Homo-oligomer: A and B are copies of this chain.
């Protein structure tokens, strides 16, 4: 186990953890949101971020500080904590983003890590190569090798108590991302940003982000704190957390405010398009849309940034509460309706149900079936795996209703969409206590039939009858041939 990171609670791939940051003398609860501070602009002061928004950690760019006369000297003299009057932890980026944007930068990993240490950063970053999506495999591999050599060099540098990140690259090649995760995990470095996903996020390519993060996570292992670098839109936090990301940074709150863009968990709105403020935050309960539109530019930017950050922090609290309550996937299911591309992301997340199942608790508060996608949740998969291990009688009646009076309970199991068959004795145990809609759907029925198939394959000598109330033919096609079907008519 990494000693600076401890996982406290789990739900699907998501977790609540504690990241100890020794140089700052603080422990940050994850998932955490790191507001980005631009060293040259002060939309909301770091002090205000701490006092008004409860920010425990922020991130700023050491390369910009390094390259800006005056700021550099102040940072070296006073240190970031005094300069920003910020009581929490401060993480610094290295200039990799500038490298991706402008093609070159003027520092090495050794120089920038030494500088980060000198200005009092609590978590420093080497100069990795942020390879964009869709490049040739050759380039992705070559870039990754460079990044990995730099991580190895970073590992060798004495940075005292400062934690150091090991960014995961590999472009849009999942196997490279996985290998990068494995390599990073084998270093002594501390925090693991999944890098260069911003171009994908900007284009709403959430399905690809899911594939990349899932691959990096496979390589990294469960005890690594993972930072989804550049992901600042609250719409996708729940999805990111469910995948196992622990840290998020937001420049969006300030950048969007500059363009009069208003964040919501359901997407971005332009201030000009708002006739109402769909939010309960202190800004939106104080102003009308017109009052905000009529503010002077700098005040409007500040007010919108404050709204954007309120929404962002509230979503993080909602996610943590969902993990505690064991309903994170219900939240992801809801957020998936914000945009068709978010739905793609969620559908892709559920491709990794077997991976999510490994960290999902055996019992949670309740399982809500809230969409066709719910049929693919890890709890359903786990129930099917369990069916392989259950003892079955020689002859078994499965029904989607009550057991006929002539049958013993042991010989007549219930079939409940989306789970499929189970002995009635299990009906009070999670997840079979699920709340399901009265109006079921093909996805739930199909998953239940998959359960019947799993049961029959694991117990080929059992004679099985399935008595159902009008299940559709195309769903029943999945029932194995040996099973006798009885249609009891519509319920």
Contact = CB atoms under 8 A, between A and B. Distances in A.
A129 interface: no
B324 A275 contact: yes
B370 A313 contact: no
Most buried by B among A207, A438, A443, A474: A438
A325 B368 contact: no
A153 B43 CA distance: 63
Contacts of A341: 435, 437-438
A288 B165 CA distance: 32
A345 B449 CA distance: 26
Interface stretch (A224-232, A279-287, A398-406, A454-462): A279-287
Interface in A418-477: 435-439, 441-443, 474, 477
Interface stretch (A101-109, A294-302, A314-322): A314-322
A438 B207 contact: yes
A371 B368 contact: no
B279 A370 contact: no
A437 B371 contact: no
A273 interface: yes
Interface residues of A, number: 59
A359 interface: no
B317 A278 contact: yes
Nearest to A435: B340
Given A275-B321, A372-B443, A340 B437 contact: yes
Interface in A82-122: none
Contacts of A372: 371-372, 441, 443
A407 interface: no
A338 B334 contact: yes
A311 interface: yes
A223 interface: no
A241 interface: no
A321 B267 CA distance: 13
Contacts of A322: 278
Contacts of A166: none
Most buried by B among A266, A325, A439: A439
A334 to B, nearest CB: 4
Contacts of A275: 320-321, 324
Contact of A276 (B310, B321, B437): B321
A374 to B, nearest CB: 9
A348 interface: yes
Most buried by B among A278, A284, A341: A278
A182 to B, nearest CB: 28
10 contacts: A207-B438, A266-B334, A275-B321, A276-B318, A276-B321, A277-B317, A278-B321, A284-B314, A337-B370, A347-B437
Closest CB pairs A-B (n = 6):
A278-B318, A280-B314, A474-B474, A280-B281, A334-B337, A276-B317
Given A340-B437, A344-B439, 11 more contacts: A269-B321, A275-B321, A276-B317, A276-B320, A278-B317, A280-B282, A340-B370, A340-B436, A343-B371, A343-B437, A442-B442
